[in-house]
Amino acid sequence: MANQDPQPEVYSVASSFAGGAAAGTTVTTNVTTSQANNEEVRIYAIQVDMQAEDFDALSPITADNCDFSLTITVGPNNVPSQPIRLRPIWCSDTNAMYFTSPILVLFQQPLQVTVTNNQALTAGAGNGRLVTVNFLSELAIQKVACAPSATDYPRSPMGM
């Protein structure tokens, strides 16, 4: 439930891939947004970080075995419709990618995040990867259309 309108939120997903993981290995995570029936979540950007499985820092320029993709599923649909490659985002100055239009998550729509390993990881200790994706978003109260002095308002925008 939002304590302010809008309320900034950061949802974080960590996906772990063991050393020796085959190409195409996926880790799917359900994200709980804890929103009320009159609230919506708007996701504006994602931030990406990658580490070795033993939490050692990796350099985006020199690290190998860091080719991953992200699929965001809201309700029954992938948003955007194609997977997002994570290495170019991780290599950028801000480690972030901003969406031109926010991803909207309404009440009782499941938010699911799938991270896919696009290449086989080298077997052995320290060759696994931990991929962390932060969703920069806000929780807001849904607005309704109102007309002053009318008796049948407020009316939901979907009813118009």
The pTM is what? 0.82
pLDDT at residue 59 in the model = 83
Q: Could you report the per-residue pLDDT of 18-49, keeping only the tens digit for each?
A: 988 899 999 999 999 888 888 899 999 999 99
Q: Is the pLDDT of residue 155 over 70?
A: no
Question: How would residue 12 be classed by pLDDT, with cut points 50, 70 and 90?
Answer: very high
Which amino acid is located at 102 in the chain?
P
Whole-angstrom distance, CA of residue 79 vs CA of residue 104: 9
- Tell me how far apart the alpha carbons of residues 99 and 46 are, in angstroms, rounded to a whole number: 8
Is residue 145 very low, low, confident or very high in pLDDT (cuts 50, 70, 90)?
Answer: low
Q: What is the pLDDT of residue 152?
A: 57
What six digits make up the tokens of 87? Answer: 């290495």
pLDDT of residue 105: 93
- Using CA atoms, how far residue 84 sits from 55, 68, 116, in Å, is 24, 9, 10
- Closest by CA to 35, choosing from 87, 99, 111, is 111
127: pLDDT confidence band, cut at 50, 70 and 90?
A: confident
Residue 10 structure tokens: 């950061």
DSSP 23-40: TT-EEEEEEP----TTEE
For the segment 143-154, the average pLDDT, to the nearest whole number, is 62
Q: How confident is the model at residue 153 (pLDDT cuts 50, 70, 90)?
A: low
Tokens of 48: 């990406």
Are 50 and 133 within 8 A, CB to CB? no
Q: Which residue blocks in 16-151 are alpha helix, DSSP H?
A: 87-91
pLDDT computed for residue 77 by the predictor: 92
- Using CA atoms of 49, 54, 56, 59 in order, give the dihedral in degrees to the nearest 10: -50
What spatial distance separates the first Cα and last Cα of the chain, rounded to whole Å?
A: 26
Residues 6 or more apart whose Cβ sits within 8 Å of residue 11 = 31, 33, 43, 111, 134, 135, 137
pLDDT in the model for residue 103: 94
- More confident: 26 or 1: 26
